[in-house]
A and B are shown apart, each in its own frame.
Chain A
Amino acid sequence: MPIYSEKVMDHFMRPRNVGEIENADGIGEEGNPVCGDMMTFYIKVKDDRLEDVKFKTFGCGAAIAVSSMVSEMAKGKTLDEVLKITPQSVAEMLEGLPKNKMHCSNLGAQALHRAIEDYRSKQKSGGKG
């Protein structure tokens, strides 16, 4: 039996929204090389919605699939809606992740939330917007 669901394999083999955004409105990083997975999310915000999301990920099949799924779930949503995306909801959309990968590889939502925090703190400090 394969260790990953068909959905995970689909997002791993054909990841959506890979890349960087130049002059991104917010950037969020999560993970470290010790656990083996690192993710960076770039966001572009317009009218309080995620106009664009891109990511770069160093990690296993699950980590890449999670990043891709999170980007797809978040695109076009309001920032508050995106903040409601949880690792559990990402895993559900991926039709499950192996138990031992639930923590280490499932960092996409957090990385994206950090990008939003980054955007909001820039807003507060009177940066671009």
Chain B
Amino acid sequence: MTKVYLDNTSTTPILPEVRDAMLPFLGEYYGNPSCIHEWGDAPREALEVARGQVARLVNGAPEEIIFTGSGTESNNFAIKGLALANQKKGKHIVVSAIEHFSVLNSCKTLEKMGFKYTVVPVDKYGAVNPADIRKAIREDTILVSVMHANNEVGTIQPIEEIGRITKEKGIVFHTDAIATAGTIPVDVKGLGVDALSLAGNMFYGPKGVAALWLKKGTRIIPLLDGGVQEGGRRAGTENVPGIVGLGKAAEIALAQMPARIAQVSALRDKLLQGLPEKISRALVTGHPVNRLPGHASFCVEFIEGESMLMLLNSQGIAVTSGSACTSRALLASHVLLAMGLPHEIAQSSLLFGLSVQNSAEDVDYVLATLPPIVERLRQMSPLYAKFLKEGKGG
């Protein structure tokens, strides 16, 4: 059967070059990089090579890279660590409504510890208005966090403009760049941020390894107490094979970025144009132009995302959805709801994440396979029946 993997927003595949770079550190170079004997030498050197590779990806300095265990950890570290380090100045945080749960739930935890936070809304495309950030900033605001691009709807946020506001106000600014770093150009200096999260499995690196770029001189309180790994900011024996893989993936991403963008944007545009042509009332979610190159997201009205996902899976196609049924928490996507979509439309979300391993044939297969699936589910849907009746009546 044809197999088409289009769930690259959940994770990308690992490039063979990345895996090959990792293998020696799962074999002969098993030493602990903190050890001063010979066994520690190669792993320690490998860590520093990777640090340089990751730093170059975001135009930062190697000593500004802190390796972590996941994008979620990087976001937790940034939000909690920066808030706690600045709490003498104030206890107010500003975030957007479409942040990842690792940011929003970190704010909730801080709230229990006496912090307050303001959630800034987004427009119908899922974009934050920098003027709203300015309005939300108070005397006691110590931290602003807005993601570089949203993983569910692909909209790229005006980070530079927000960065100018936070700089003017002297407030620490974090961006979750997990959906963008390694995918589109990310320049920490140009963006004007103080901290930036990135994760390897979004750009053909391994899972379980990520990083926080932290501008030199920015104070942060560690999440983990222990040894002095990562400059004392992230204790625990380093995931050397993972970090080596992350570094290699970053190096390749930087070298191949323009070619990758050209390839996946063409596939994305084919989907963004093709699906609404073939399926009535299939709405593109997120910004039509200012969006991630490999990201095509839709709401297919009157049917539910998980059932679409399962029928696509039965035809060999992997996608994801923001429907309540798809999430383990059984809640509809907070991103789609924040964009003003009603629940029944948010339930019908479908998300395609394209990779360099996809071809135009893959997209053609989706364009041929999805319409009959939608038709079949609509024939079963009481909402569609109601729509048809009302449409005929009025």
Contacts and interface: CB of A to CB of B under 8 A. Distances in A.
A33 B380 contact: no
Nearest to A12: B310
Given A12-B307, A60-B325, A36 B380 contact: no
A58 B381 CA distance: 5
Nearest to B379: A18
16 contacts: A12-B307, A15-B380, A32-B343, A33-B342, A36-B323, A36-B324, A36-B330, A36-B343, A58-B344, A60-B304, A60-B310, A60-B325, A61-B310, A63-B325, A100-B330, A105-B325
Interface string A62-75: 11100000000000
B2 interface: no
A61 B307 contact: yes
A106 interface: no
Interface of A: 12-13, 15, 18, 20, 29, 32-40, 56-64, 100-101, 104-105
7 nearest A-B residue pairs (beta carbon):
A60-B325, A33-B344, A36-B324, A60-B306, A56-B382, A40-B382, A33-B343
B347 interface: yes
Majority-rule SS of A interface residues: mixed
Interface of B: 302-304, 306-307, 310, 314, 323-326, 328, 330, 332, 342-344, 347, 379-383, 385
A56 B379 CA distance: 8
B380 A57 contact: yes
Contacts of A64: 307, 380
A58 B324 contact: no
A100 B328 contact: yes
A34 B347 CA distance: 8
Given A59-B304, A60-B304, A60-B307, A36 B332 contact: yes
A59 B332 contact: no
Contacts of B342: 33
A12 B304 CA distance: 13
A16 to B, nearest CB: 12
Q: Which among A33, A38, A63 has the greatest number of chain B C-beta atoms within 10 A?
A: A33
A104 B383 contact: no
B119 to A, nearest CB: 20
A33 B307 contact: no
A100 B325 CA distance: 9
A125 B182 CA distance: 68
